[in-house]
Amino acid sequence: MALALGLWKGGSLGLGWQDVDLDARTLRVRQTLQRIGEETITKEPKTPRSRRTLALSPSLLAALVAHRDRQEFERKRAGARWQESGLVFTSTVGTALEARNLTREFKRHVAAAGLPESLL
Contacts of 32 (CB under 8 A, 6+ apart): 8, 10, 11, 13, 14, 42, 43, 44, 45
Using alpha carbons only, how large is the chain's radius of gyration in Å?
Answer: 15
Q: What pLDDT was estimated at residue 116?
A: 84
Is 76 a domain residue? yes
Quote the CA–CA distance of 88 and 14 in Å, as a whole number.
8
Judged by DSSP in three states, 2 sits in: helix
Residue 120 clears pLDDT 80, i.e. is over it: no
The CATH number covering residue 15 comes to: 1.10.443.10
Render pLDDT for 78-100 as a digit per residue (tens, 0 to 9): 999 999 999 999 999 999 998 88
Indicate the pLDDT class of residue 110, thresholds 50, 70 and 90.
confident
Domain total in the chain: 1
Closest CA to 55 of 14, 17, 22, 10: 22
**Domain with 96 in it:** 2-115
Looking at residue 52, what DSSP letter applies? E
Q: What's the average model confidence in pLDDT over 3-30?
A: 93
Amino acid code (one letter) for 49: R
In a domain, residue 120? The reply is no
Q: 47 in a domain, yes or no?
A: yes
Prediction pTM value: 0.87
46 confidence band (pLDDT: 50, 70, 90): confident
Structural domain contains residue 43: yes
Planar angle of CA 21, 101, 8, nearest 5 degrees: 45
Residue 106 is assigned to a structural domain of this protein: yes
